[in-house]
């Protein structure tokens, strides 16, 4: 399933041409075989491009991943897409506090600059 998801990304000529509905289906199949909160997070990201940021955020917020920086970074992106800038900023700040990866820290710091 994971290889099929990667193949969908690799076959797309552009981000916009990615077969997001197929990726959601593949994540659904993966969740049946090996359920995990991180896989559900990845499914929520794909769902954004199929059903919109609001549905993706609802799915994301049902997860118990408060100590995972990518949960907060993803949540920030969805909140930003919904015009909820203050909440997005708080989520980015939480992600920044949780990550020790210098590249991720730089990206999050860039997002937080006015």
99 neighbors 108 (Cβ within 8 angstroms): yes
Report how far residue 78's alpha carbon sits from residue 72's, in angstroms, rounded to the nearest whole number: 10
pTM over 0.85: yes
Round the average pLDDT of the chain to a whole number and report it: 97
CA distance 83 to 42: 22
pLDDT at 35: 97
Domains of the chain with CATH codes: 2-112 (1.25.40.10)
> Are 18 and 10 a contacting pair, CB within 8 Å?
no
Q: Please write the tens of the pLDDT for every residue from 19-49.
A: 999 999 999 999 999 999 999 999 999 999 9
């Amino acid at each position: 399933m994971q290889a099929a998801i990667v193949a969908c990304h690799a076959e797309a000529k552009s981000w916009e041409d990615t077969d997001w509905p197929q990726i959601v289906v593949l994540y659904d199949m993966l969740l049946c075989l090996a359920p995990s909160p991180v896989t559900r997070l990845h499914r929520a990201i794909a769902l954004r491009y199929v059903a919109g940021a609001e549905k993706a955020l609802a799915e994301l917020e049902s997860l118990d991943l408060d100590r995972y920086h990518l949960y907060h970074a993803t949540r920030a992106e969805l909140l930003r897409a919904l015009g909820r800038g203050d909440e997005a900023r708080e989520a980015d700040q939480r992600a920044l506090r949780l990550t020790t990866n210098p590249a991720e820290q730089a990206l999050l710091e860039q997002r937080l600059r006015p």
